[in-house]
Amino acid sequence: MRRELFVRSSCFVTWIMKTSVSEIFWGVLVVAIRDIIPPPQRECFNDVYIAYELMDTDLHQIIRSNQALSEEHCQYFLYQILRGLKYIHSANVLHRDLKPSNLLLNANCDLKICDFGLARVTSESDFMTEYVVTRWYRPPELLLNSSDYTAAIDVWSVGCIFMELMDRKPLFPGRDHVHQLRLLMELIGTPSEAELEFLNENAKRYIRQLPLYRRESFTEKFPNVHPLAIDLVEKMLTFDPRQRITGEF
């Protein structure tokens, strides 16, 4: 019996996505592929091993550490994230899992985006699964089961990451799906009817039956964060993805 190279076609698609996306942005904006290690014999082809360039740490480890971070550090990290995101989106690719542990760093503070296992080319089809993005960095449209989403999902994730970088703790550390949505609405407030237009009727009904939340002042909640940084984060964390700032600059 002929041995299947991959048990499920999705495994092959994931592998191709990881390798091809990294090839597109090779070594400059995302972690570079150094080698792909083949099996010793074709009959034993069950796994693929990809060797990436070595980076020293990731943003999650830096945030959790006692290392002091200046405003210049935070600005430089954000600049590199947005620069990488601009080029990723320019190729019609959504990362769909941006989080601190997927942002690698070296001793020179060079930042590279990694883990394209959930990445997707936006032109493949109109339907996309909503079960993407780690919960704490998931935007409202995904929490409300929208499959018609755009590159704005990555921008929301960057807003959460940037605020976590400056405040040194997660912005929306939800315990589950429902708690996650409540946390973000407690901060950005209950959306208006106009902001609900992009949602399906079931999602609209769900939002309408929730308690009303008044928008918190970011400036008062985060008094140690620079006003310009607050302004940018507020533009990234809009409930309606159509109003969210883009990665263009």
Give the strand pairing for 57-58 and 103-105: antiparallel
Number of Cβ within 10 Å of residue 193's Cβ equals 9
Task: Give CA torsion, residues 126, 132, 138, 141, to 10 deg.
Answer: 30
**Contact call for residues 216 and 163 (beta carbons, < 8 A):** no
Catalytic residue among 56, 58, 97, 115: 97
Q: Which helix (H) or strand (E) holds 249?
A: none
The dihedral through the CA atoms of 84, 87, 90, 92 has a sign that is negative
User: Which segments of the chain does DSSP mark as H helices, in order?
Assistant: 9-24, 59-64, 71-90, 140-143, 152-167, 177-188, 201-208, 218-221, 227-236
Query: Has 110 been annotated as catalytic?
Result: no
Q: Cα separation of 186 and 133, whole Å? A: 21
By annotation, the residues acting in catalysis are 97
